[in-house]
């Protein structure tokens, strides 16, 4: 399995609080992604990174920010959590454009 670790694996937080999810890889892949998965929607891209300090928005980026200060770490921050951000969040890594992605085990986030 690809060396991807997400933390925390489960989190319950209150509406209005900031939350940061961490993705750590040991594969030295250039591309890293954050997705959310909700019933009936499949996985949707939030943000991605194509290098250190290089990030771009995905399909559902509102309310989220990311940072990548090192190749191995990609952080996802919910600036002020809302109930609509209750979801399962997956980090993924890839080697290049149009290549397959490998996923971490996911973080189950509940906003109450």
Partner 1 sequence: RKEVEQDPGPFNVPEGATVAFNCTYSNSASQSFFWYRQDCRKEPKLLMSVYSSGNEDGRFTAQLNRASQYISLLIRDSKLSDSATYLCVVNRFNDMRFGAGTRLTVKP
- Site residues (vs partner 1, CB under 8 A): 31, 33, 35, 40-45, 48, 50, 56, 58-59, 90, 94, 97-106
Least distance CB 62 / partner 1 (angstroms): 17
> Residue 5: how many CB atoms within 10 A of its CB?
14
Q: Measured between alpha carbons, how far is 112 from 110 in angstroms, rounded to an integer?
A: 6
Nearest-approach distance from CB 42 to partner 1, in angstroms: 4
42 contacts: CB under 8 Å, gap ≥ 6 = none
In angstroms, what is the minimal distance from the CB of 110 to partner 1? Answer: 14
Minimal distance, residue 46 CB to partner 1, in Å: 12
> Which C-beta is closer to partner 1: that of 14 or that of 97?
97
Nearer to partner 1, 12 or 16 (CB): 12
Contact residues for 67 (Cβ-Cβ < 8 A; gap 6+):
55, 74, 75, 77
Select 15 or 99, whichever has its Cβ closest to partner 1.
99
CB of 36 closer than 8 Å to CB of 53: no
What whole-number distance in Å separates Cα of residue 53 and Cα of residue 32? Answer: 12
Q: Which is nearer to partner 1, 58 or 63 (CB)?
A: 58
């Amino acid at each position: 399995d690809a060396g991807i670790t997400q933390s925390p694996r489960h989190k319950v937080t209150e509406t209005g609080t900031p939350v940061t999810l961490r993705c750590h890889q040991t594969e030295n892949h250039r591309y890293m992604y954050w997705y959310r998965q909700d019933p009936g929607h499949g996985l949707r891209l939030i943000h991605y990174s194509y290098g250190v300090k290089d990030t771009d928005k995905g399909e559902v980026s509102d309310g989220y920010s990311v940072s990548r200060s090192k190749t191995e770490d990609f952080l996802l921050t919910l600036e002020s959590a809302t109930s609509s951000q209750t979801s399962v969040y997956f980090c993924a890594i890839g080697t290049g454009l149009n290549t397959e992605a490998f996923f971490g085990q996911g973080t189950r986030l509940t906003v109450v």
